[in-house]
A and B are shown apart, each in its own frame.
Chain A
Amino acid sequence: MTPADASPPVRTFDKLQAEDMANEVRILWSEVGVCALLALLVAVYLIVA
């Protein structure tokens, strides 16, 4: 198999690539958010305890 056998439509491919990469970036930032939230909770817990 070679990429030379590629076939259209290019628009569908580009759209899927854009959607999927955006989703992966969203998940990355979601992790940052969850980590920040839990770090805050742990800090509060340690201070209170």
Chain B
Amino acid sequence: MIDTLISLCLVFVLLGMVPTVATFAQFLLVGFHGRWNHYPKCADYTPRVAFVLPAWNEADVLGASIDSLMNIDYPAGAWRLYIVDDASTDNTPEVMRAKIAQYPGSVFHLRREKGGQGKAHTLNHGIHEILAEDWAEAVMIMDADVLFEPTTLRRMARHFADPEVGGVTAYVKEGSEPSSLLSRFIAFEYVTAQAAARRAQNVAGGIPCMAGGAQLHSRENLIAIGGRIDTSTLAEDTYTTIKTQICGRRALFDPNAIVWAEEPDSLTALWKQRLRWGRGNLQITMAFRDLWFRPHRSAQFGNLAFGVLWFSIALMPVFMILGSIGLVGLFYLWPPWAPLAFSVLWGVSFLSYLFQTLYSFLIDPHTARRAWFEGIAFPGLLSVGVMSMAVLRLTPFSGSGEWPAPGSWTWSEAGVLVILAWSALSTLAAWGVYRLDRAGAPKRLRDIALVLVGYGPLLCAISLGAIVGQLRSADLKWDKTVKSGKARLPT
């Protein structure tokens, strides 16, 4: 019986390493994008593009977004902007009217009389109108707060010279000015989750998500996936991306095509946004359940590596909790192995952390200059401390240099337990930081707590919230992230 439990603990420790190893392996693929990319198949191709911009009470951000489009480097007359007003109740219609008058012939106004059903429904209203005419050869799905750099559309459109390509997405960067600790954490997160991860996904031959803030589809692809955006999940961009590839066309990420967006500036708003994303991804997991681990059904999404990566991210908190249970269990059941297991689990995390942080700084030096501290503090300074203990074989709370004996009921033992269970406890602590923010704690206190506990554990806590919400079938509704117009294009 004890042997079985010990084996189970060892398996749990190994499972606790799965997300770290999977993301580390993905990071190792990033550099290959320098050899295996789509650029040789590009040509100077500028199809007629219809931008579709869903707007529900976006008066604060809409003007800047439209102005940024007017500065794009693209042939005159080869693009149009369709703004779909989702029955806004603020002065979005007035802003639109002013912009239509300012830019006649480029900006078109569509209005839904009954709104509030979410982005996908609003997009579909615009897409229906656009596809009803022959004019558009490609459709750009965007968000109301997204700012385009002048060359972004040209960089994205060039990939359509290859008829195998159905969709292209850009690198969405966090562009709030003035920045805050949270916005810089998000900026660094996007280096790892977009600039790095999506390069690796290009190399691997399939990307699970084209960012909904800048998703360019060929007309043929949009028609092939049904001529509309799926409304059955909260992650319509992921659904559309996977559907594009299942229907036989390629989806690509162009890391040099950049757009800027404003992201949430409070943990409460971030939690709401990411909970929606997390639950959306779990819905996607169910919607495409016939694909996972079935390579004969989908070469891109059915292979083992993709399945492991997808589930290790979607279920990350579960892996973290299992890892902690495994370490604590070993400490009580087979004490001599606990320090070794602890060193291996957290040592691998440390190596992965060092590699990902250093490499992310080099992948996007502009963001690194702005968010270097947030990159270092991403897993939380306390977690960095735990990793250091593992690597340096430190024995905290013990003067003897040995770990305390299990069952001694001492403060040393309690300290060791906290360290062994830290990957699970940090998730709990991150939830505490969120509650602190929600309770209206001073921003400085919240920021100190966030730096100590970490942004990574916060994302893990939100994932756990999404899993629990999904299991409980908690109420699902579209919650728009409020934007205030803080994003700026770099000068």
Which A positions have Cβ atoms within 8 angstroms of B? 1, 3, 5-8, 10, 12-14, 16-17, 19-21, 23-35, 37-38, 41-42, 45, 49
Contacts and interface: CB of A to CB of B under 8 A. Distances in A.
**Which 5 A-B pairs give the minimum distances between C-beta atoms?**
A28-B34, A31-B31, A13-B44, A30-B362, A20-B256
Interface in B447-490: none
Interface centre among A7, A10, A35 (most CB of B within 10 A): A7
A23 B31 CA distance: 11
A5 B45 contact: yes
Given A1-B218, A1-B219, A42-B351, A6 B43 contact: yes
Given A12-B73, A27-B199, 5 more contacts: A5-B137, A16-B154, A21-B39, A27-B31, A30-B362
B32 to A, nearest CB: 7
Given A17-B42, A24-B39, A7 B161 contact: no
Given A1-B218, A13-B154, A31-B31, A7 B78 contact: yes
Contact of B35 (A28, A34, A45, A49): A28
A1 B137 contact: yes
Contacts of B33: 24, 27-28
B391 A30 contact: no
B151 A34 contact: no
Interface stretch (B12-20, B61-69, B352-360): B352-360
A45 B351 CA distance: 12
Contacts of A25: 34
Interface centre among A19, A20, A29, A35 (most CB of B within 10 A): A20
B391 A31 contact: no
Chain A binding site: helix, strand, loop or mixed by DSSP? helix
Given A1-B137, A3-B45, A49 B393 contact: yes
Interface in B249-285: 254-256
Contacts of A6: 43-46, 161
Contacts of B393: 49
14 contacts: A1-B137, A5-B47, A12-B73, A13-B43, A13-B44, A20-B39, A20-B155, A23-B255, A24-B34, A27-B30, A27-B363, A28-B34, A35-B355, A38-B358
Nearest to B357: A34
Interface of B: 28, 30-35, 37, 39, 42-47, 73, 75, 78, 137-138, 151, 154-155, 158, 160-161, 163, 199, 218-220, 254-256, 351, 354-355, 358-359, 362-363, 391, 393
Contacts of A1: 45, 47, 137-138, 160, 163, 218-220
Given A1-B138, A34-B362, A42-B351, A24 B37 contact: yes
Contacts of B138: 1
A34 B154 contact: no
Contacts of B355: 34-35, 38
A15 to B, nearest CB: 9
B44 A23 contact: no
Nearest to A24: B34
A35 B163 CA distance: 36
Given A7-B78, A24-B37, A28-B35, A34 B359 contact: yes
A42 to B, nearest CB: 7
Contacts of A12: 44, 73, 151, 154
B219 A27 contact: no
A38 B354 contact: yes
A21 B35 CA distance: 9
A12 B77 CA distance: 18
Nearest to A25: B34
Contact of B151 (A16, A23, A32): A16
A13 B156 CA distance: 11
Nearest to A21: B39
B393 to A, nearest CB: 7
Nearest to A4: B45
Nearest to A41: B354
A41 to B, nearest CB: 8
A8 B44 contact: yes
Interface centre among B31, B43, B137, B161 (most CB of A within 10 A): B31
A37 B354 CA distance: 10
Contact of A32 (B31, B45, B163, B256): B31
Nearest to B47: A1
Contacts of B35: 28
B352 to A, nearest CB: 10
B376 to A, nearest CB: 15
Interface centre among B28, B34, B199 (most CB of A within 10 A): B34
A24 B158 CA distance: 17
A37 B357 CA distance: 13
A19 B39 CA distance: 11
Given A1-B47, A7-B44, A13-B158, A37 B31 contact: no
Contacts of A17: 39, 42, 158
Contacts of A33: 362
